[in-house]
């Protein structure tokens, strides 16, 4: 797990970090150049070259060996992924004005004492400890965001914290206007997007940007850059608020329910269309990950239910109905007369499907009473393939 904290480097420490980044960026670009000229820069070959280069150049020796080696390791991984992972491009040059500083340190390269993060070559930075680290970290990524803020993201272990047994069971259906519809309406999670106040302030900043925009080819004005920074700050603020809401929501669900049945939503089916839809899909993806993580950590049974037919199946009699028009918000069963909100009915169907499969073992494939055939995956431990860390 990653635990991220704000860093408050002084002027000297910030200069040192930027200098370190420039050296690492040089190495990265050198590796990209080698690849482009057909030299096959494997991590092994690159680190040999690094050792030779450090012997030769003082300016390279002035930087941390760990940070430089980790840059090459990251490069090696990015190159490998560009061959093995679909839609991944070859690593590209990192340009000075566009790329943001990122430095990686393993245990040999950092330590924490007196509340400060100590990096090689005498760099020491105060950390804002907004919460405690659950265990000693094994590595850290020091990076700067587009607003100029510095962060330290520690990789650390967080053990399961089984919560007291409870009886409740809940079903969750994902949606665009309401991110999560639960069987229990008090656990619904409305889609926040940018909060009202944030949205108004953001619109103001964007209007200012368009007023101050200069024609192409001219350097942007200070007023334009100010407004741009302001807009970025507001977007970041909204994102942080949404993360917080998602965590609080997930915790409340994990605290009160032993069985959590979740629609196994796969964003890529929907995300091809509009921007708003994309944002809503991204929100679902992140909230779903949070819910699965806090559910499994609390020792709850988290069941991922395939979304097929959940909106069409009656949660009372399990009879499948005709496909609902997307604008139709009410589900009506022609068989038993059950009427419910479309999403609420789907949430109940998801819960019912999970409960029917509850007795099963880890990977159960069940043929339920026809015509619904469902495959349920019961999650018993963290680390779900395809959902795991970033």
- Considering the complex, state which of residue 161 and residue 328 has its C-beta at the smaller distance from Zn ion: 328
- Considering the complex, state which of residue 253 and residue 314 has its C-beta at the smaller distance from Zn ion: 314
Structure tokens at 263: 């629609």
Rounded least distance, CB 317 to Zn ion, Å: 3
Q: Which of 116, 278, 316, 356 touches Zn ion (CB under 5 A)?
A: 316
333 binds Zn ion (CB under 5 A): yes
Q: Which of 317, 323, 330, 365 touches Zn ion (CB under 5 A)?
A: 317
- Contacting range for Zn ion; rule: CB under 5 A; set: 144-152, 262-270, 330-338, 347-355: 330-338
Structure tokens at 190: 């409305």
Structure tokens at 33: 């150049």
346 binds Zn ion (CB under 5 A): no
- Contacting range for Zn ion; rule: CB under 5 A; set: 50-58, 211-219, 312-320, 350-358: 312-320
Rounded least distance, CB 314 to Zn ion, Å: 3
Q: Are 314 and 345 in contact (CB under 8 A)?
A: yes
Q: Which of 314, 347, 354, 379 touches Zn ion (CB under 5 A)?
A: 314
Rounded least distance, CB 315 to Zn ion, Å: 8
334 binds Zn ion (CB under 5 A): no
Q: Are 357 and 377 in contact (CB under 8 A)?
A: no
Closest residue by Cα to residue 171 from 291, 263, 281: 263
Rounded least distance, CB 341 to Zn ion, Å: 15
- Contacting range for Zn ion; rule: CB under 5 A; set: 46-54, 139-147, 189-197, 335-343: 335-343
Half-sphere exposure (CA, 13 Å, Cβ side) for 178? 16
Q: Are 192 and 241 in contact (CB under 8 A)?
A: yes
339 binds Zn ion (CB under 5 A): no
Angle at alpha carbon of residue 304, lines to 351 and 288, rounded to 5°: 100
- Contacting range for Zn ion; rule: CB under 5 A; set: 143-151, 257-265, 329-337, 376-384: 329-337
335 binds Zn ion (CB under 5 A): yes
- Considering the complex, state which of residue 3 and residue 331 has its C-beta at the smaller distance from Zn ion: 331
Phi first, then psi: give them for residue 277, nearest 5 degrees: -65, -40
* C-alpha span between 31 and 69 (Å, rounded): 12
Structure tokens at 136: 């000693």
- Considering the complex, state which of residue 135 and residue 335 has its C-beta at the smaller distance from Zn ion: 335
Rounded least distance, CB 319 to Zn ion, Å: 5
Q: Are 243 and 234 in contact (CB under 8 A)?
A: no
372 binds Zn ion (CB under 5 A): no
336 binds Zn ion (CB under 5 A): yes
* C-alpha span between 155 and 174 (Å, rounded): 30
Closest residue by Cα to residue 295 from 199, 160, 390, 137: 160
- Considering the complex, state which of residue 171 and residue 246 has its C-beta at the smaller distance from Zn ion: 171
The pairing of strands 259-263 and 301-305 is parallel
Rounded least distance, CB 347 to Zn ion, Å: 15
Helix (H/G/I), strand (E/B), else coil: 361: coil
Number of residues that bind Zn ion (CB under 5 A): 8
* C-alpha span between 259 and 300 (Å, rounded): 6
Binding residues (CB under 5 A) for Zn ion: these are 314, 316-317, 319, 333, 335-336, 338
């Amino acid at each position: 797990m990653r635990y991220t904290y704000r860093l408050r480097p002084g002027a000297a420490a910030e200069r040192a970090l930027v200098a370190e980044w420039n050296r690492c960026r040089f190495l990265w670009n050198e590796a990209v150049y080698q690849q482009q000229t057909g030299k096959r820069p494997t991590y092994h070959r690159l680190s040999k070259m690094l050792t030779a280069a450090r012997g030769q150049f003082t300016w390279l020796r002035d930087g941390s060996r760990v940070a430089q080696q980790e840059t090459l390791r990251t490069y090696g991984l990015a190159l490998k992924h560009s061959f093995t992972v679909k839609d991944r491009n070859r690593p590209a040059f990192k340009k000075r004005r566009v790329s943001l500083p990122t430095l990686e340190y393993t245990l040999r390269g950092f330590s924490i004492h007196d509340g400060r993060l100590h990096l090689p070559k005498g760099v020491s930075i105060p950390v804002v400890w907004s919460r405690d680290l659950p265990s000693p970290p094994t590595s850290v990524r020091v990076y700067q965001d587009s607003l100029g803020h510095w962060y330290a993201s520690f990789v650390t272990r967080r053990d399961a914290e089984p919560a007291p047994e409870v009886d409740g069971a809940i079903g969750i259906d994902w949606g665009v206007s309401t991110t999560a519809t639960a069987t229990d309406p008090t656990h619904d999670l409305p889609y926040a997007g940018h909060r009202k106040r944030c949205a108004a302030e953001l619109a103001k900043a964007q209007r200012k940007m368009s007023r101050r925009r200069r024609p192409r080819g001219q350097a942007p004005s200070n007023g334009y850059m100010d407004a741009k920074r302001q807009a970025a700050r507001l977007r970041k603020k909204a994102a942080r608020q949404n993360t917080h809401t998602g965590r609080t929501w997930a915790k409340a669900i994990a605290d009160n329910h032993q069985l959590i049945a979740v629609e196994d939503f796969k964003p890529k089916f929907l995300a091809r269309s509009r921007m708003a839809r994309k944002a809503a899909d991204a929100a679902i993806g992140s909230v779903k990950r949070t819910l699965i993580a806090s559910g499994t950590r609390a020792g709850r049974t988290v069941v991922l239910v395939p979304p097929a037919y959940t909106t069409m199946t009656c949660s009372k009699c399990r009879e499948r109905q005709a496909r609902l028009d997307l604008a139709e918000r009410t589900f009506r069963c022609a068989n038993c007369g059950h009427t419910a909100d479309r999403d609420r009915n789907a949430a109940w169907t998801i819960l019912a499907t999970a409960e029917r499969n509850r007795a099963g073992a880890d990977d159960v494939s069940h043929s339920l009473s026809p015509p619904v055939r469902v495959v349920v995956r019961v999650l018993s431990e963290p680390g779900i393939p395809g959902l795991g860390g970033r």
